[in-house]
Amino acid sequence: MKLFSYPTPERKVGEVFLYNGGMYQVMDGNKQPLANKEIGCTIKDPSTGNIISICAFSDYCGRVNRRHRGYCAPSDRKDGKTVYFKKL
């Protein structure tokens, strides 16, 4: 578990939250054909085999403030779930 100087929320699956003026929902990554079970932001397209991003934050994941968004990797979450974030 990573340690930060600020509290980081563990957003529950299904939770809706506001971030930078947009509404986002926490989605269960285990219900998707994930390309990597440790990172819930990509799936493998069944028809082409290509990797496709499904998380609203995947293009700039490392630059998103986690204290608002929360963790997505199971190794960082207390509930051990893989999640991704969907823009509503």
Say what the pLDDT of residue 43 is: 80
pLDDT per residue as tens digits for the range 18-75: 888 899 999 988 777 665 666 667 787 888 888 888 888 877 665 555 666 777 778 8
Cα distance between residue 62 and residue 2, in whole Å: 14
Helix (H, G, I), strand (E, B) or coil at 63: helix
pTM as predicted: 0.75
